[in-house]
Amino acid sequence: MTYIIVALLLYTATIILGAYASRHADSNLVTAIMNTMSAILPLAIIVPYFSKINVQNSKYGIIAAIIAGATIALFTLSLNKSFTVNKVGIVTPIVFGGAIFLSTILSAILFKEKVSMIQGFGLTFLGIGFIIVTYARWVGK
């Protein structure tokens, strides 16, 4: 649970700092800097331990990680551009609420993870909230 809370706090900081940076510098430059930093720091931590990693047994995981890295780069470009033309209070719930909704549904399909009734209620409310926020943006309220 500690890692979940740390991830939540760090991701929130990333959203706020990314929005601020995108409004005060070119969003493409901001994306390049953010992705460079997010690549350098893990490498600085992982490289000393790389000799302990068995790459042979990790082939598909490494391929998926490379594709995920590419999607993060594209995501960051899209997110930072969104921050330059929209309010954080619109971008964040649509992107991250939508990501929670879609990733939960896809994890049930792809990984056969069970969605409990309470989680289902939560997803329903999330979907309704997503619709309301999208509608509010559409009508300009």
pLDDT at 2: 86
pLDDT at 26: 92
- End-to-end CA separation in angstroms for the chain: 37
pLDDT at 119: 92
The model carries a pTM of 0.74
pLDDT at 56: 66
97-108 burial string, b = 16+ CB within 10 Å, else e?
beeebeebeeee
Can you give the pLDDT of all 141 residues of the chain as single tens digits? Answer: 788 888 888 888 888 898 999 999 999 999 999 999 988 888 887 777 766 666 666 778 878 888 888 899 899 999 999 989 888 888 888 888 888 888 988 899 989 999 999 999 999 998 898 888 888 878 877
pLDDT at 120: 92
Total number of residues shown for the chain: 141
